Every structure is written in C-alpha cells, then in structure tokens.
Amino acid sequence: MTIERTLFSPEHLAFRDSLRRFMAKEIAPFHEEWEDQGYVAREVWNKAGENGFLCMSLPEEYGGAGADLLYSVIQFEELWAAGQTGIGWGLHSEIVAPYILRYGTPEQKSNYLPRLASGEMIGAIAMSEPSAGSDLQAVRSSAVKQSDGSFVLNGSKTFITNGWHADLVIVVAKTDPAAGAKGTSLFLVERGMPGFEKGKRLKKLGLKAQDTSELFFNDVRLSADQLLGGAAMEGKGFICLMEQLPWERLQIAISAVAASQAAIEQTVAYVKERHVFGQPVAAFQNTRYTLAELQTEVQVAQVFVDKCIELLMVEKLDTATASMAKYWCSDLQCKVMDECVQLFGGYGYIWEYPVTRAYADARVQRIYGGTNEIMKEVITRAMGLGAPR
C-alpha cells in the first residue's frame, strides 16, 4: 500500500517477525491436515501459550504480557493474511479473556485468566442459539436460581467458535426471562460439568480448520461463583455484551483488510506469470483496472481501520463507527476475493490455491459478529433514524 502506516513501533514490527516464524513452523505445515479434520491440534494452543502468543494484553499478574492491543492487531492481520484461520486465538484472547478481566470477581480472574494465557484452557463464548442469533434478546437458555443461590442451566447453543476444543465457555442465559435484556446473565461453564455436552462439529463453507460446534446444557448445576462477576452482575449480561462490541467488531474489520491486501498481492503475482493469448493476464486493461480499483478501496479501508484502532486505544471508538468498519470492510473483503478468484480463472476455484481458501473464509465475515444488516441498524440508530418496528 502507498500510505505508510504509523501505528506500529519497532517492537511491534519485531513481534510481527517472530509471529511469522512461529506460524511458518507451527501452523503452516499442518493447516491442510487441520482443515481435513475440522479442528486444529490441541498442542498448537499449548505452544502458542508457551511462546507468549495467547492473551498478550492481559496484565502480567494474570499470565499475560501487559501488551497494548496493537500486538493483538498484528496477530489478526498475520493469521488472516496467511489464510491460517483455523486457530481461534482472537476469540480466546481478545473476547473471552477480556470479559473475565473486566467483569470477573478477583477469584474468577485468578482462577481462569492464567490458564487461558498458558493455553491450559481454551475459551469460547456462547451467545447464539438455534432460534436466536441477531436477536439476542430472544435467547431461551435459562439459569434458574435455587434457594441456596446456585443456578440450574438449561438450553442449547450453536455456531460456537472453539466450542469443541473449549474448556471454559461463557454462556449467555436468562436469569429473569420476564425482564428481557435486563434479565440476562453470563455464566462460566467448564468442560466436564455434569449435563454440559458438546454436539457435532459443524461442517462449514470456509474456516474449515476452525472448530464450530453445538453445545447443550441439561440441568447443569452452577454454583453462585460461576456467575461472571458474582451476584452484583446478575441481570447485567447484556450490558457486558454491548460494552465489548466496538473491539469485537473492529477485529473483523482488521482481519478483512489484511486478508484483502494479501489476496491482491497474490493476484498481482499470478497475473504477471500467467500468459493467455500470448501475453500476461496483467496486460489486459480489465485486469489492470480491476486491481487498481481493489487496491484503492483496500487502501481507503486501511486508513479508516487504522484510525479506528487509534480511537480504540484511547477508548474512544464508539459502536456505530466500529459497525461501519465491520460492515464496509467485510463487504469489501468478499468483493476483493470474488474479483481475485476471477482473475485466477479455473485455478481460482481449486482448493490448493490460497485465493480459493481466502474466498471461502471471507464469506462468514459478513455474517458473524452481528450481520452486516444489523451493523446498518446500529448505524441508522446513531444517525437518529430510530429503530424499526
């Protein structure tokens, strides 16, 4: 890209190099095998923990590195640029762990955070249900309070990233169904708790090496300590979910831009090599203009995303702006991948080509983290256009 990025220090750049070396050794050689089996090897989580790549932004007292969020930005960028999308590090390190850090009791933090940082535990967050995705207020899972203060959890979740590997799941459930959003709470549910079962791993269009599962909760008995944040946070789960949205949505935009730039670079290299009608594909005006347009849009997206990152770092990124970034960059990613596949011709449809995988991986970015239609709803509300009936 032509506009120099100014976010990163020499330490960040050195980190980018060390992450690339780790990925080349510990991820790249196994990615295809993981795609075939539908999940990454458990060991890569432990190795990532040993090498300090998990939960880097956690304070040192909880096993993190106390690093700024730019280190996590680099992780999202590198994994998506390389198409190494099997590892749900982002969700584990920058969604699950921050919930516990921000809202957990001191005991919950010291119990879980060091184990998430070391890779001993893999984290997941279970909001979506078979009949509640965009409309999270429609969640049916319930946690009924007992006379001794414990809860009994029932319900089922679907589409849960890291669900199959997960040792610790933050589960969204209603503690007071009559109170709507105000009756929603978050629970810390551990693998092995009686009544907690994992369903099948879902076969997907893309992100084939990433495990995405159904989870079932049948009369799971949870002590009062398993309520995230303790008794004071009962009924406040929805507020927690809303507060974390800007960073979660920006993560998708960051990865979308990085993946798009990588696909453009792969395509530039390919069209220079591939000859048709006695000339390189790069010589056709259609190829040149298409790539020029894509590169322009990705450059614009990068500048916008970098500004959003800057705002996030000073806690000034609002949900509507993050939603703009999520929707616009993921739409752009899908457009870039489609055009790049086209320029590869038939090879663009063959799985061994990274651009083909990038095309498949891109599609979900418009769906998860809140669909792009929901992003537009958020933006219209911030514009004072109100909510639909």
Ligand X SMILES: Cc1cc2nc3c(=O)[nH]c(=O)nc-3n(C[C@H](O)[C@H](O)[C@H](O)COP(=O)(O)OP(=O)(O)OC[C@H]3O[C@@H](n4cnc5c(N)ncnc54)[C@H](O)[C@@H]3O)c2cc1C
Chain residues in the site for ligand X (CB under 6 A): 91, 125-128, 133-134, 159-161, 204, 207, 212, 364, 367-368, 370-371, 373-374, 377
Closest CA to 229 of 99, 112, 110: 99
Nearer to ligand X, 145 or 381 (CB): 381
User: For residue 115, how far is the Cα from the chain centroid?
Assistant: 20
Active-site residue 248, yes or no?
yes
Rounded-to-integer distance, Cα 210 and Cα 206, Å: 9
Q: How far is the CB of 308 from ligand X (least distance, A)?
A: 20
Name the residue whose CB lies closest to ligand X.
Answer: 133
Q: How far is the CB of 188 from ligand X (least distance, A)?
A: 15
Q: How far is the CB of 83 from ligand X (least distance, A)?
A: 15
Nearer to ligand X, 76 or 270 (CB): 76
Tokens matching residue 280: 């390189």
Closest CA to 342 of 276, 271, 240, 252: 271
Q: How far is the CB of 15 from ligand X (least distance, A)?
A: 26
Please provide the size of the chain in residues: 389
Nearer to ligand X, 245 or 291 (CB): 245
Largest CA distance in the chain: 81
First to last CA, the chain: 43
Tokens matching residue 118: 């070391």
Rounded-to-integer distance, Cα 255 and Cα 23, Å: 16
Nearer to ligand X, 129 or 339 (CB): 129
Nearer to ligand X, 222 or 252 (CB): 252
Q: How far is the CB of 375 from ligand X (least distance, A)?
A: 9
CB-count exposure of residue 383 (10 Å: 0-12, 13-18, 19+)? exposed
* Alpha helices in 199-284, H assignment, sequence order: 237-243, 245-273
Cα–Cα distances in Å, from 260 out to 161, 272, 318? 22, 19, 24
Q: How far is the CB of 243 from ligand X (least distance, A)?
A: 16
Rounded-to-integer distance, Cα 364 and Cα 334, Å: 9
Nearer to ligand X, 127 or 317 (CB): 127
Tokens matching residue 308: 């959003």
Q: How many CB atoms lie within 10 A of CB 333?
A: 30
Q: Return the DSSP state at 96.
A: I
Q: Which listed residue (26, 35, 94, 248) is catalytic?
A: 248
Which residues are known catalytic residues? 248
